[in-house]
Amino acid sequence: MNALITFIFSLSFFSAVSLLTETGAAAAEKDGVYIVYMGAAASRKGSLKDDHAQLLSSLLKRKTNALVHNYKHGFSGFAAVLSAEEAHSIAERPGVVSVFPDSVLELHTTRSWDFLKYQTSVVIDSNPNSNSSSTTSDHDSGAIIGVLDTGIWPESESFNDKDMGPIPPGWKGTCAQAQDFNTSNCNRKIIGARSYEADDSSVIKYHSPRDMIGHGTHVASTAAGSEVQGVSYYGLAEGTAKGGSPGSRLAIYRVCSSHNGCRGSSILAAFDDAIADGVEVLSLSLGAPSFLKPELTNDPIAIGAFHAVQHNITVVCSAGNDGPTRGSVVNAAPWILTVAASTIDRDFESNVVLGEDKVIIKGEGINLANIQKSPVYPIIYAKSANKTGVDEDESRSCNPDSMDQEIIKGKIVVCDQDGPYSPTEKKDVVKNLGGIGVVLIDDESRAVASTFGTFPATVISSKDGAKVLSYINSTKNPAATILPTTSPTEYKPAPTITYFSSRGPSTIPKNILKPDIAAPGVNILAAWLGNDTAEAPEGKDPPQYNVISGTSMACPHVSGIAATVKSRNSKWGPSAIRSAIMTTATQTNNLKAPITTDKGAAATPYDFGAGEVSTTGPLEPGLVYETTTIDYLNFLCYYGYNISTIQIITNTIPDGFTCPEESSIDLISNINYPSIAISNFNEKAGRKVNRTLTNVSKDDKTVYTVSIDAPAGLDVQVVPDKLQFTNNGQKSSYQVSFSSTNPLKKDVFGFITWSNGKYKVRSPFAVSSKSGN
């Protein structure tokens, strides 16, 4: 079972969400909803809708209204119900960039912000005029964050607007009304709410921004929740909850529902409205599954994000939950800020106590059990309860219908985590057979806290699992207990890159290093639905705050920081904000050692991009890499699009621009990105790339000197090795040369750092061997 299903399907709200996505070839043969993408919106206003209707009517013989969504603000196009033949016919029309089926995309906090503050805060200097060492202020005016997700539960205290000023005058959005949502649900915190999906249930009969899943509420409060004291999950992880940018406003775009999933056509409609509404940061904790590799012009998120960036909106997306598989990162277009997931220094500890000696085995999981703390309960290995005629692999994994109830009853059962069933499903199997508790052996689940309600259950490592099985096998009457969960902090090492976080290298293309940054995404406490009885443990009221994990949770951490950076530097564009976040990241953990994966291996830029995000460094980065319009146009050229298609996509080609005669995909490495990725490295020819830095500090005269952290076997030279700036806004360029005497046996990584003694501007690089290992 893949990582997304393993750890997210253990959460009850996902049981109703369809994660099925049709791949292009199969879907293209079917009738249904298709997205017709026609590039940038023309400068004329008010006529696009008529143009789209005219195009449809000229091709369709049916009289019924086929139009589903109309895109007319940030870009041009529509979604419509078409036959496969009609879709093919429209694709042949002039001005149409692409036509593709409407796919279903996947949905991919108290301590997390405290940990980031402690772990990554950067004190720039002792200058009394510098504010860079301060943390995010609750009183910042903030920015407008648009959240494309499952909606919002507006009654949560995290969305109160106490002490907030008036709604920004540039806001042009709306607060939708529905059977269960009205304008009074919006305030000075939630300034807008729209919906593009409707549930076909008896409860929700109309398009409503109200969240009935929980995911969107959790994400929104992580990004911009107001400060709420005394928050916990049934007494665990107690503290003060607030978002990364509590002064920011929220614009909610409900694009996902339990009935219809996250439709690409709805996502594009939300992008289109958000561009017109006036948002400044867009946060998307969703994306295509890693096995689906859509072309950029067939990818709703890549399309919408491109035009949002054209309109000066920073777009932050989750990297996906299909790790640790190599090349599984999604949302990897160069105009997107792509976020991986890391752990924090809080653990949800539920320990096992063995025998008369009371040996403690550390476990992970959330259980609110009330059983004796002394080891008085019989404990068995599940395969010893094997049902007659059932394969032992089934019983030792505690799979359904594999164990004898008479043997299980009254005992703690040790299970292996093999097969397709989640930890909570295995818990249910044992519970229904009359077992008293479950100890699950699984290294991956040990890193993420599953929620077991009031049933005694925990997850231990395979190393500790061997100790438990040895005790059971060597003892006549083995006994144990499972302790209720505690939530200690200052756990070490942290951060680590969690197993489920999708990894690089990017496949679209490999010459852009992805993910860009890592942020907390494991066991994050944030706001939840107020009526979720399904999530409530037995005998408990519904939780007001919930603990869940995923790159979905990492994404809004970065969205909140991006909003703070925007509010402090209002003239910065999306690429400057991305650069500030990436070049001030940290690569060390709370042991002052290099960040690792949760299995202890050294993490690389394929795992964490530039490193763990800082809350303060991006506010004053010193220098930034600005990725210009020309960079993105060249990217499209290098990627293989011709100039006529690019003209339709962008509608902003400067006079005289043409695609370079040499438009190799390898030249993508040369666009002015804050990281460097070299693919198919040829040691005989070597490779050279150029970068340009812009001075954004208040220092009139300053000199930066380069330092290089290169792996053995790779020679990296930077010319010049000093950059001098004399005023704010000045640009200076340098060239990096990569060479090697011998062929690289594997992909290698390093960092290039520019420093003037006050600021450090650090960029990762990845050089890919021909074998791609």
Architecture of the CATH domain 106-121+138-345+494-619: 3-Layer(aba) Sandwich (3.40)
For range 508-520, the mean pLDDT: 94
Q: Is-contact 543 535, C-beta < 8 A?
A: yes
What pLDDT does residue 232 have? 95
User: pLDDT class for 261, splitting at 50, 70, 90?
Assistant: confident
The question of whether 552 is a catalytic residue gets the answer yes
What pLDDT does residue 115 have? 53
The question of whether 215 is a catalytic residue gets the answer yes
Q: Does domain 623-767 have CATH number 2.60.40.2310?
A: yes
Residue 285: which of 337, 346, 208, 225 has the closest Cα? 337
What pLDDT does residue 691 have? 98
* DSSP letter assigned to residue 178: B
- For the cut 60, the answer to whether the pLDDT of residue 554 exceeds it is yes
What does 492-505 look like in DSSP terms, one character per residue? SS--EE-TTS----
Q: Which of 207, 215, 218, 307 is catalytic?
A: 215
Q: Residue 262: enclosing H or E segment and its boundaries?
A: strand 261-263
Q: For the chain, percent helix, then strand, then coil, each to nearest 5?
A: 25, 25, 50
- For the cut 70, the answer to whether the pLDDT of residue 68 exceeds it is yes
What distance in Å separates the CA atoms of residue 71 and residue 65, rounded to the nearest whole number? Answer: 16
Q: Residue 237: enclosing H or E segment and its boundaries?
A: strand 236-241
Residue 303: which of 263, 272, 262, 338 has the closest Cα? 272
Is there a common fold for 22-102 and 352-482? no
User: pLDDT class for 56, splitting at 50, 70, 90?
Assistant: confident
- In the Cβ-directed half-sphere of 103, how many Cα atoms lie within 13 Å? 24
Q: Could you tell me which CATH number the domain at 352-482 has?
A: 3.50.30.30
- For the cut 60, the answer to whether the pLDDT of residue 21 exceeds it is no
- For the cut 60, the answer to whether the pLDDT of residue 329 exceeds it is yes
Q: Which of 102, 149, 598, 607 is catalytic?
A: 149
Type of residue at 114? D
Residue 500: which of 318, 338, 322 has the closest Cα? 322
Q: With the C-alpha atoms ordered 421, 289, 272, 84, is the resulting torsion angle positive or negative? A: negative
Radius of gyration of the chain (CA): 27
Residue 195's DSSP bridge partners are 254
User: pLDDT class for 28, splitting at 50, 70, 90?
Assistant: very low
What pLDDT does residue 773 have? 57
Q: Is-contact 551 290, C-beta < 8 A?
A: no
Which two three-digit tokens encode residue 178? 């529905």
What does 179-210 look like in DSSP terms, one character per residue? TTB-GGG--SSEEEEEE-----SSS--S---B
What pLDDT does residue 117 have? 58
The question of whether 532 is a catalytic residue gets the answer no
Which two three-digit tokens encode residue 663? 């438009």
- Write the CB contacts of 54 (distance below 8 Å, at least 6 apart in sequence): none
User: In a 3-state reduction of DSSP, which class is residue 540?
Assistant: coil
* DSSP letter assigned to residue 768: -
Residue 524: which of 222, 215, 149 has the closest Cα? 222
Mean per-residue pLDDT over the chain, rounded: 88
Q: Is-contact 688 709, C-beta < 8 A?
A: no
CA 125 to chain centre: 32
Residue 707's DSSP bridge partners are 753
Superfamily designation of domain 22-102 = Peptidase S8 propeptide/proteinase inhibitor I9 (3.30.70.80)
Domain boundaries, the chain: 22-102, 106-121+138-345+494-619, 352-482, 623-767
pTM of the complete model: 0.92
Tokens 């964490």, residue? Answer: 608
What distance in Å separates the CA atoms of residue 329 and residue 287, rounded to the nearest whole number? Answer: 10
- For the cut 60, the answer to whether the pLDDT of residue 694 exceeds it is yes
For range 374-385, the mean pLDDT: 97
Q: Residue 249: enclosing H or E segment and its boundaries?
A: strand 249-254
Q: Is-contact 108 552, C-beta < 8 A?
A: yes
What distance in Å separates the CA atoms of residue 232 and residue 240, rounded to the nearest whole number? Answer: 9
What distance in Å separates the CA atoms of residue 348 and residue 364, rounded to the nearest whole number? Answer: 6
For range 377-403, the mean pLDDT: 96
Let me know if 269 is exposed, middle or buried by CB neighbors in 10 A (0-12, 13-18, 19+). buried
Q: Is-contact 224 248, C-beta < 8 A?
A: yes
52-56, 293-297, 414-418: least confident range: 52-56
Q: Is-contact 528 217, C-beta < 8 A?
A: yes
Which two three-digit tokens encode residue 313? 């909106």
pLDDT in tens, 654-671: 888 999 888 889 999 999
What pLDDT does residue 272 have? 97
- Write the CB contacts of 601 (distance below 8 Å, at least 6 apart in sequence): none
Residue 517 phi, psi dihedral angles, 5° rounding: -155, 160
Inter-axis angle of helices 574-583 and 551-568, nearest 10:
110
